[in-house]
Structure 1
Amino acid sequence: MLDEPLPLDDRGFAYGDGLFETVLVRDGQALLWRAHLERLERGAERLGFELPDPASLQALPARCGPGLTVLKLVVTRGSGGRGYRPPGVAEPRWRWSVAPFAPQPERWRHGVVVRLCQLRLSWQPRLAGIKHLARLENVLARQEWQDENIAEGILCDGDGNLVEATAMNLIWRRAGVLETPRLDRCGVAGTLLEALGERLPIHRVQASDLALREADAAWVLNSVQGVWPLRRLVSAEGTRLKDWSLERQDSLQSAAHSLLGYPGSEDLRDLVAK
């Protein structure tokens, strides 16, 4: 593990000038690995620096050990430059860590409660889709609630259009059509969402939270936790806005979990009972 401290003049530390990925690793095999590396490459291109020897990353998953772990990769532009002005030639830094991981199967099976956040995401198309280090908006949104019964917060942009959850992507089914928010102005293009889009017809739309309330099923998802069906949506003030039945939410979860090696919906009853 690279545990060397970052110097105070590192631009990732000082300005959030860098990228990160969190990768699910099962017995030394990284899930959706190519998608994570491709998103890192897109992010580095957007920020205007080159990744330091991407080939050196290939051996990392095998070093994570047995069982289920999460590999966190961080790359910064490095040090240099004056103030906000970046150096003419960047010398990026890698850091990585590994932690044991246990998913939450009760959320797979029984669904979750989510709330609408008061915070509105700002637009910045040049950063949209990538997983950059400047995540203060997400931190402030997650600070809005302390209720352990609420699993996630749903974020909209300044125009009231749905974008994502604080740490997950969002999909819903309305009038028989799978929909997910457009991420061309802000938000993170999750690797599990992208992989599902290659298997299922998921339409990217611009829609307010009214679309979510019109949906007959909805999910939040990411490449570590898998898919959590939504059971209830509440307002920022705690008012109940929508309840969903979980009976019609099985197929998308099964398709997603097959990509991560997690149980499909047909296996969850036995898993949770244990």
Structure 2
Amino acid sequence: MIARVLVDGQAGDRVSVLDRGLAYGDGLFETIRFLGAGAPLWPRHMQRLEEGCRRLGLPMPAPATLLVEARAVSRGLPQSVVRITLTRGVGARGYRPPTPAHPTRIVAAFDAPPPDQAAQVGGIRVRLCATRLAAQPQLAGLKHLNRLEQVLARAEWDDPAIAEGVLCDADGLAISATAANLFAVFDGVLATPAVDRCGIAGVARAEVLAAWPHAQVRPITLEELRRADELFLSSSVRGILPVRELDGRTLGVGTVTRALQSHWRKLGF
């Protein structure tokens, strides 16, 4: 359920049909878990949004303004998910970006998903997706508005017992889940796929890497992933989710995963 929406600071839920976010996916977004008026990962979200604005050539909104608006739309909700969407705004027909850009800023609050204790304790089932992620280093890591690859991947299954799908790139390297980052443990060593060619550099992923400084960021083949001792997903909304099954192979929930779940709880989630 949407609680409230602000468009450029004003209550409303409409944008122009000529907005480039609608026409071309020309923009960025952040999905932020709020606990009351606070968001433990807010600085990481703002850091990623600023990097996205730099790479796309968009003016970065003042973080203080975004925080005021995020608190306004989520007021009264004990826990919420706030989505900040930033587009290049209205422009003429054609791909050429308008100069100067006049961005559209949308801040919306949603009810937080109910806690899934069974998934947190026992883990989730994950499948391998046929959809592959295309390499585009200029956009890699960013949470830009074009998410068609993830839409197609998520459309591959409707079994409610399967919680997520693993996405690979065209070379067969494991990259992520459809809506989460991916971590694996090999002989006690934590590793996560590099996202310098495709994929999203998640804020929960950044938090895990900061909490586990000896973790490796490197290419991980699908064959290697299938030999992992532990697998888990990281998401700023859903937290640390153990994987108990990947394409029929059963895994245990190990000590590294449990330690990072404990770290996540200490953040306040």
TM-score (norm 1): 0.90
Moved more, 51-60 or 30-39: 51-60
Corresponding letter in the other structure for 1:17: D
Q: Which residue of 2 aligns with 1:246?
A: 253
**Matches of 1:36 and 1:18 in 2, distance apart?**
15
Q: Superposition pairs for residues 133-148 of structure 1, below 5 Å? A: 133-148=145-160
SS at match of 2:226: helix
**Matches of 1:80 and 1:4 in 2, distance apart?**
19
Unaligned runs of 5+ in 1: 235-239, 263-274
**Matches of 2:258 and 2:13 in 1, distance apart?**
44
Moved more, 22-31 or 136-145: 22-31
For the 8 Å contact 1:192–1:256, the answer to whether it is kept is no
Moved more, 60-69 or 194-203: 60-69
Q: Which residue of 2 aligns with 1:31?
A: 40
Query: How far does residue 247 in structure 1 lie from its aligned partner after superposition?
Result: 4.6
Q: Which residue of 1 aligns with 2:236?
A: 223
Q: Which residue of 2 aligns with 1:271?
A: none
**Matches of 2:206 and 2:98 in 1, distance apart?**
33
Q: Which residue of 1 aligns with 2:131?
A: 119
Matched, 1:13 2:42: no
Matched, 1:69 2:76: no
Query: How far does residue 80 in structure 1 lie from its aligned partner after superposition?
Result: 1.4
Unaligned runs of 5+ in 2: 7-11
Matched, 1:47 2:60: no
Of 71, 81, 106, the match for 1:95: 106
Runs of 4+ in 1 over 6 A off after TM superposition: none
SS at match of 2:83: strand
Query: How far does residue 54 in structure 1 lie from its aligned partner after superposition?
Result: 3.6
Corresponding letter in the other structure for 1:245: G
Corresponding letter in the other structure for 1:32: L
RMSD: 1.3
1:210-237 deviation digits (Å, cap 9, x = unpaired) = 1221111110110110111010011xxx
